[in-house]
Amino acid sequence: MPKHRIGVYPGTFDPITNGHLDIIQRATHLVDHLIVGVARNDGKGPLFSTEDRVRMVREDVAAMDISRTTIEVQAFDILLMHFAVETKCQVIIRGLRAVSDFEYEFQMAGMNARLNPNIETVFLMASDRHQFISSRFVKEVGRLGGDIRHFVSPRVADALIERFAIEVNNGDSSKRVQTR
């Protein structure tokens, strides 16, 4: 009987982008069960609450056409390697966009291997059409009124536009928002 392979794709997903969805889609070719781990990571000052980010990831994943792998979305606020052990995963999946990502990810993979050598880290290169997308850039473009609909799902774009409108309505007139 083949071994049931479980993978974790961790991230802040603030917000989830089409680049993240591409990595999720491709990761389903590598594992039988994929856990998308949404890191609480309050230190990064996320735009969306953990609950909102989990909901957005779940909605985007539910809209994907994937039948070969089960996918679940879980929030976590513990060390990634502890989360990996807790979820019985054998593989951590990380996306790489550019050489600048590699140095950080390489260091993290080395540290994680020291913490638990039984869990492998697998890197998936971002596809060429998603290499430049980052949550940070999407938020910056959207906050300044740029069209973000090519970088995130329609649901996430609507949530971002709504959030930025709230910022403007709360008195930060330095922020411009595209209302559609």
Tokens of 135: 């949550």
Active-site residue, 29 included: no
Place of tokens 């054998």: 90
* 35 within 8 A of 8, measured Cβ to Cβ: yes
Which one from 135, 139, 143, 153 is the annotated catalytic residue?
Answer: 135
130 is catalytic: no
Instruction: Please pick, among 4, 29, 44, 88, the residue that the annotation labels catalytic.
Output: 44
d(CA 104, CA 118) in angstroms, rounded, equals: 21
Three-state DSSP class for residue 83: helix
Q: Which of 55, 58, 97, 163 is flagged as catalytic?
A: 97
Q: Is 20 a catalytic residue?
A: yes
88 as an active site residue: the answer is no
* Burial zone of 180 (CB within 10 Å; 0-12 exposed, 13-18 middle, 19+ buried): exposed
Q: Which of 20, 94, 130, 143 is catalytic?
A: 20
Residues annotated as catalytic are 20, 44, 97, 135
